[in-house]
Structure 1
């Protein structure tokens, strides 16, 4: 992912009001982020525990989405729909995101199961155990990174489609 400034991040959110953009809290480690190992920038708001943010690139431009954690608990341990990690070291949460534009203003949302603290970029880069002799770990990691990027892009596109 390309590095972004605070202003670029704040102005990128497509499903947020001006007030929400101004009041969002950047990640506490913002100045130390390792941008080259991120497929998207995702974090939870330290001041608002039900809120999360994701910023990615769509059509070459940064696009941000505000998420709200759904109330309630799941009965079983779900799988993240973005990184599809089966050896999850973290919890997965059901998040809702308002659609952009008129659809979002009418209350339309899109939901997904995502790693609770948006650790997907780390998960896909963690080497898995060898399923067989000769297994190409590097190719598997590259494939998992591409799948994650595709899932994030597709979700972002669906949120943005509310503008139409």
Structure 2
């Protein structure tokens, strides 16, 4: 992903008001984000634990999506259970995967329509597939798929999700 500015970030959201986008809390490490290792920028709001945000490059533009956790992150599952992220297929224990919903853009969103996905609770999918971050399971669930295929899988799943929010 290319490096983006705060102005670019705040102006690209498709499913919240301009005022909401202006007030959203940026990731704490926004200026030091590992852009070369990101397929999308995703973060949880450190002041509102039920909110998260995702910014992706779609075609030649940025698309920002405001997300909500369907339930309290980390509370829904026990440590012995495992869950799979819909974007990157990373297996997590406990609350490492959370159901997140996004209000659709436009009239559909105004009517209350939304879409949901089970995603890495910290939205660090890109870092998991590149081995820059590990789950509590370590490499135990490495699926042996080459990195290029994993990145293509994230992009395809991300593009599908963004298209469903925009539809």
The interval holding the TM-score normalised by the smaller chain is: 0.7 to 0.9
Aligned counterparts of 1:141 and 1:104: Cα–Cα separation in 2: 35
**154 and 51 in structure 1: CA distance in 2 versus 1, 3 angstrom threshold:** same
Which consecutive residues of structure 2, in runs of 5 or more, have no partner in the other structure? 133-138
RMSD of equivalent CA atoms: 2.4
Aligned residue number for residue 87 of structure 2: 82
Aligned residue number for residue 148 of structure 2: 142
**87 and 114 in structure 1: CA distance in 2 versus 1, 3 angstrom threshold:** closer
Which consecutive residues of structure 1, in runs of 5 or more, have no partner in the other structure? 132-136
Alignment partner of 1:110 is 2:105: no
Aligned counterparts of 1:68 and 1:57: Cα–Cα separation in 2: 21
Give the conservation status (yes or no) of the 8 Å contact 1:88–1:123.
no
TM-score scaled to structure 2, two decimals? 0.85
1:101 to 96, 99, 106: 106
- 1:75-113 Cα deviation digits (max 9, x unpaired): 743210000013669700000100000000000000000
2:157 to 139, 151, 158: 151
Q: Tell me which structure has the larger Cα radius of gyration.
A: 1
**144 and 88 in structure 1: CA distance in 2 versus 1, 3 angstrom threshold:** farther
**87 and 99 in structure 1: CA distance in 2 versus 1, 3 angstrom threshold:** closer
Aligned residue number for residue 125 of structure 1: 130
Give the conservation status (yes or no) of the 8 Å contact 2:53–2:65.
yes
The structure whose residues are more often helix, as a share, is 1
- 1:1-48 Cα deviation digits (max 9, x unpaired): 011100110010000112211110110001111101100000001111
